[in-house]
Amino acid sequence: MLGLPQALVIALEHNFTIRRAREQLRQQEGVLTTVSAAALPSVSALASYQKSNVPGFQASSAQNPGVPLIVPSGRYWRMNLTVRQTLYAGGGIRSSIDAATLSREAAILGLKETINAVLLDVRIRFYTVLLAREDIKVQEQNLELLQSQLRDATVRFEVGAISNFERLRAEVAVANARPPLIKARNDYRLAIGELRRVIGLMPAGSDSLNQGPEFAGALTFEPVEPELPAALATARTGRPELQRLAKLLHAAESGKLTARAGYYPNLALTAGGELRKGPTEYFSDSLRGLRAGVQAQWTGNPRATSGRIGQAESLVEQARLTLGAAELAVQVEVRRALSSLGEATELVGATLQSVKQAEEAVRIALSRYQAGMSTQLDLLQAQVALTASRTNQLRAYYGHNVALARLQNALGQSELEFASDITR
């Protein structure tokens, strides 16, 4: 048996969109690790070995960068190890780490947004399967009743109680009831296929899911009357889209600090050691030494820095506008979801009594027909009305369930807890 909770769990593990969103989060974690490395000490090592019959030149020495070093003939070796720690970079490193951290948090919220969207799709597809399954039952009941009426008409025709025209009309009614049943069965197969696609992967033995009883659950009606102000407040705090865009806005603001760091110099502490050939070619006579110092560097290009600051400020304003547009869109979505839920509730209320009334009408019409007090046309019309009432009730239940699911998604609510799944 596959119920809605099981379908949601399977989708969390196997849906391709969710899996891709997880990989995007992993990518953002790699970006954060890369950016954070700038605040840690960096180590560089250099080693060279040379053997020559004539003196040569080496580009520079560790003590005097940029000054050529004369390398004597014979063998020559040199090993150099340097550790460098940035002390001050105008706040650029800290702001870059903050921006990467906020981007990672935005990626987590983006994953939650993706999960909510996928779960909504799974819910709707599952409700569609239930609707198609129940529609098959309605059409089968309609066909069985019409076939029963055809058998009764055949018997009455054989004894001369009715004309051949009425028997033919019963046969036509049975024939007309078969195409809707065929369509309902095909809709059921298609609905199962769509559910499989959204879930991403079905468990072993999924071929048996072509059978309706394998799906647990039914379309039910539970009245819900949320208030608009409370719904809007819940959406503002619960929608992961808004939280994600707010994180991206803060990340863009950190980008402004990164751009302004171009106005300030960089200050770094260096330490290391060197081993190079001494007066003899014996390795034990090599020259050794330790060194430590402070390096300051400033590349003055105010125009380029000003341009980067302008770009960063524009990105901040774009992020702010995007967040404002999203907040407005969420408000509209919540209002639309509430309106759809209200419409669906009214439709369910309108169909609650129609099925019972239609069933009673068919019973009365059948009794009157068997007593010779009404025509077969009256009976067929009552049966058509009963099928329409049952179908309308199914559609109303389906619409209410879908509208409620869309409202929960618009509010950012979910029945599952994703925290452990997201951060693993």
Q: Tokens 């702001």 sit at which residue?
A: 95
Nearest to 144 by CA among 394, 392, 387, 393: 387
Apex CA 162: angle with CA 161 and CA 167, to 5°? 135
pLDDT at res. 323? 94
How wide is the angle at C-alpha 355 spanned by C-alphas 407 and 215, nearest 5°? 55
d(CA 103, CA 258): 15
In a domain, 9, yes or no: yes
| CB-based contact 320:249 (threshold 8 Å) | yes
Give me the residue label for tokens 């524009």.
314
Cα first-last separation, the chain: 29
52 located within any domain: no
Length of the chain: 424
Report the domain count for the chain: 1
Sheet-wide strand order for 287-297: 42-52, 74-88, 266-276, 287-297
103 domain-assigned:
yes
pLDDT at 55: 61
Digit-by-digit pLDDT tens for the chain (424 residues) are 788 888 888 898 899 999 999 998 999 899 889 888 888 888 999 988 887 776 655 555 555 555 566 656 677 788 899 999 988 888 888 888 999 999 999 999 999 999 999 999 999 999 999 999 999 999 998 898 888 888 888 888 888 877 888 888 888 989 998 999 999 999 999 999 999 999 986 554 544 444 444 788 888 888 888 899 999 999 999 899 999 999 999 999 998 888 888 888 888 899 998 888 777 777 777 878 888 888 888 877 888 888 989 999 999 999 999 999 999 999 999 999 999 999 999 999 888 888 888 888 888 888 887 777 877 778 888 888 888 888 999 999 999 999 999 999 999 887 555 433 433 4
Residue 85 in any domain: the answer is: no
Is 311 contained in some domain? yes
CB proximity list for 71: less than 8 A, separation 6 or greater: 50, 52, 55, 56, 57, 58
Assigned domain for 227 exists: yes
Question: In Å, how far are 69, 180, 181, 353, 390 from 386, measured between CA atoms?
Answer: 102, 15, 15, 12, 6
- Exposure of 302 by Cβ count < 10 A (0-12 exposed, 13-18 middle, 19+ buried)? exposed
Range of the domain at 331: 4-43+91-265+298-423
50 phi/psi in degrees, rounded to 5: -145, 140
Nearest Cα to Cα of residue 48 among 273, 275, 271:
275
Kindly state whether residue 274 falls inside one of the protein's structural domains.
no
Cβ neighbour number for residue 159 with a 10 Å cutoff? 7
pLDDT of residue 209: 47
Residue 261, φ and ψ in degrees, nearest 5: -60, -15
Q: Which pLDDT score is estimated for 208?
A: 45
In order, the DSSP letters of 38-90 are GGS-EEEEEEEEEEESS-EEES--SSSTTS-EEE-SEEEEEEEEEEEEEEEST
Residue 127 makes CB contacts below 8 A (sequence gap 6+) with 219, 398, 401, 402, 405
Does residue 16 form part of some domain? yes
Domain CATH for 31: 1.20.1600.10
Strand partners, 88: 267
